[in-house]
Amino acid sequence: MASSRSNLFIVALVVWMTRIRAKPKFPAIIIFGDSSVDPGNNNYINTFFKANLTPYGTNFPGHLPTGRTGVSFASAGSGYDDLTTTLSNVITVSRQVEMFGSYIDKLKGIVGDEEAKSIIAKALVLISAGTNDVIFNFFDIPTRRLEFNFDGYTGFLLQRLEDLVEEIYDLGCRKIIVVGLPPIGCLPFQMTLGFENPRNRHCLEDQNSDARSYNKKLVRLLPEIQAELPRSKLVYADAYQPLMDMINHPEQYEELTAGIAETSVGCCGSGILVRLSLICNRMSPVCRNPREYVFWDSVHPTQLVYRQLANYVVKEIVPKLSYAF
């Protein structure tokens, strides 16, 4: 989907790395995926899947919507399935890995082969994709439903993920976090499409159930992949439950906010109409206080929510990588 409240994942991880007094555990952060981690790469390609426009970035320092820290190859609208990018013309995940290979060559030219190898081996790698595949190719546009049932399609996606991890591993990476699917049925975009009367809406449990099914498969798969890749460490990051907790129990986060009052529509636009990317623009109505919302637009969480998700990754997931070899 379109970029990019997503930079908060990158920003929080980088801030954590630079503020700790001890020597940083990771010399670099390498990122692949979709708009959940695209810092503005789509600004430089011919696609409508961009968010370098008002009101995106309203609450960021300098009020700039894109251009965040981190070595990120992610592209809004991308996915594991190359078919996902056919209409959007964004950077496929497989192409992102090729770009990473070019990055390594440049790194070797700067620090030498051995130091570059050490940096890549110790780097923190984050992969966040899959949502666009399921939404575009299965739930909303039945392209892949002509070939697969949901179980078959998730098997196809996870095979693509496994191939991706192996390619990244062959390039020298060893510590990899893979993010699961969010509660897709609770995205305002999906709820709007799922009801004849969009004002009478609630999470689509069938889509959430499918997302949970995919995540369970992913949890089982990662140790199997790790067993085949010596000295690797693969860790699952749950994007589903932390977001569901904020949707179902917003009162638990009142000490961090002015009180989350809205969990089913986006701050940008009415949230009832389908609003994201170019449809959420300087002409769109924007809520007074995004901190009272879970979602910024019809798909992406607000800065507050991304910060909570990033803190979860830092506190609960990153330490699991610290013990790798």
Phi, psi of 186 (to 5 degrees): -100, 0
Q: Tokens 């995919």 identify what position?
A: 214
pLDDT on residue 14:
57
Among 116, 243, 230, CA closest to 183 = 243
Most confident segment among 42-46, 155-159, 245-249, 261-265: 155-159
Among 95, 91, 61, 96, CA closest to 78 = 91
Mean pLDDT of 279-291: 82
Q: How confident is the model at residue 88 (pLDDT cuts 50, 70, 90)?
A: confident
User: Domains in the chain, ordered, with CATH?
Assistant: 7-239+303-321 (3.40.50)
Active site residue 238: no
CB 176 within 8 A of CB 232: yes
Active site residue 300: yes
**Active-site annotation holder among 3, 35, 128, 277:** 35
Region of 233 on the Ramachandran plot (φ > 0 left; ψ -120 to 50 alpha; else beta) = beta
pLDDT on residue 4:
41
Give the residue, 193 or 312, on which the prediction is more confident. Answer: 312
Active site residue 3: no
Among 219, 242, 246, 222, CA closest to 234 = 222
pTM of the model: 0.87
* Number of residues that this document lists for the chain: 325
CB 130 within 8 A of CB 190: no
Cα torsion 273, 277, 283, 284: sign: positive
User: Per residue in 182-200, pLDDT tens?
Assistant: 999 999 889 888 766 656 7
**Active-site annotation holder among 75, 264, 297, 298:** 297
244 exposed, middle or buried (CB, 10 Å; 0-12, 13-18, 19+)?
Answer: middle
Q: Which pair of tokens denotes residue 110?
A: 């700067």
